[in-house]
Structure 1
Amino acid sequence: MPKKKHTAQNHRASSSPQQEQGTTLKDLLGADVLQKLKQQSDEMKAAEEQRKQEVRAQAEEARKKEQKRLESDMGYLLENSKQDWRKFK
Structure 2
Amino acid sequence: MAKKNRQTPASARSAALQEDKPATLKDLLNPELVSKLRAQADAMREVEAKQKEEARKQAEEARKKEQKRLDNNFEHLLENSKMDWRKFK
Coarse TM-score class (shorter-chain normalised): 0.7 to 0.9
- Residue of structure 2 equivalent to 1:42: 42
- Residue of structure 2 equivalent to 1:80: 80
Percent identity of the aligned residues? 56
Offset of residue 21 of structure 1: 6.1
Provide Cα deviations, 1:38-82, integer angstroms capped at 9, x if missing partner.
Answer: 000000111111110011000000000000000000000000011
- Residue of structure 1 equivalent to 2:29: 29
- Residue of structure 2 equivalent to 1:52: 52
What's the Cα RMSD here?
Answer: 1.5
Report SS of the residue matched to 1:61.
Answer: helix
- Residue of structure 2 equivalent to 1:63: 63
Which structure features the higher share of helix residues? 1
TM-score w.r.t. the length of structure 1 is: 0.74
